[in-house]
Amino acid sequence: MSTAPVIGDSPKIAQWTVRFRWLSAIAFAFIPVILTAAGSAVSQINGTDAATSALTIAAGAGLGAVIGLVIMWKSPPSIREYGFRVPIGVRSVWWFLPLPVTVLIVIATQGIHVPPSVIAAYGVLAIAVALNEEIWFRGIVLTVLQSKGARGAIIGSSILFGVLHLANVFGGESTGAAVLQLVFAVLFGFVAAELVVLTGSLWPAIAWHAAWDFTNYISGNSTTGIAMIGVGIVCAVILTYAVVLWRRGTARRWALQSETEAQLS
């Protein structure tokens, strides 16, 4: 294992060097998707109600999160290096303010369209899915890809995250909706990966992911005109945030890393 030195208030970046890093990253990326899909398949086969279905899918996602934690524990980087620690340098990422803004936009433009009886189940599902996907994509996959640099890891992990969301087509979503989700997932994954690299913590991405999924679940994933406008605004906010982090934060970190590595060589 190789880890970058600490630079100023920048955290260590966990790295896990493997022989076939892209093949390994792709294989790891499939695990959370398969387990969540398995939970969805079981709920559809059994014809369960909405609350039971959400909890069944959450069980599959939860199993994926546990497996991911075991792999983290057994691999060279420590759990802390993977990102289970308090974030640092939060000022450099605008105190995460764009993240709650995106959630509030969804609530304002879509409202709540599910019965109270399923809201708690959707909360459990949102937390399970967020833990599962962040542990794998912004934890394990990002760490495997970072052996050749943070920039490629951020881009590669976000593309994998987006492409694998196309699996929702098999869950009954229309092709148009799945493509829209692909674009959003790539943007979402890009910012989440940047935040992990800059703050050294998975917790902001986990919290944002859970809050985002929960608000979309309880809104019924509305496709009204105002809801689509809201999604467009959210995408603009996330894209702007991604560019800011890339230019002001991440680029500075890479420059400092290169300078430090040159001094150590």
Section 47-66 average pLDDT: 95
Give me the half-sphere count of Cα atoms (radius 13 Å) on the Cβ side of residue 62: 11
Q: Where do we find the tokens 């630079």?
A: 7
Q: Is the pLDDT of residue 4 over 70?
A: no
Please report the pLDDT score of residue 178 as a whole number.
67
Section 1-12 average pLDDT: 46
- What are the pLDDT digits (tens) for 79-110? 999 999 999 989 889 899 999 999 999 999 98
Please report the pLDDT score of residue 148 as a whole number.
78
Cβ–Cβ under 8 Å, residues 90 and 96: yes
Cβ–Cβ under 8 Å, residues 68 and 132: yes
Burial 235-258 (b: 16+ CB within 10 A, else e): bebbeebbebbbeebbeebeeebe
Cβ–Cβ under 8 Å, residues 122 and 10: no
Do the domain assignments include residue 9?
no
If one counts the domains in the chain, the total is: 1
Do the domain assignments include residue 245?
yes
Do the domain assignments include residue 163?
yes
Do the domain assignments include residue 3?
no
**29, amino acid identity:** A
76 alpha-carbon distance from chain centroid:
22
Do the domain assignments include residue 5?
no
Q: Where do we find the tokens 């092709």?
A: 175
> Range of 233's domain?
21-260
3-state SS class at 147: helix
- What are the pLDDT digits (tens) for 112-128? 888 888 999 999 999 99
Please report the pLDDT score of residue 78 as a whole number.
92
Give me the half-sphere count of Cα atoms (radius 13 Å) on the Cβ side of residue 189: 29
- Which uninterrupted H or E stretch holds 127? helix 116-133
- What are the pLDDT digits (tens) for 203-248? 999 999 999 999 999 987 766 778 888 888 999 999 999 999 988 7
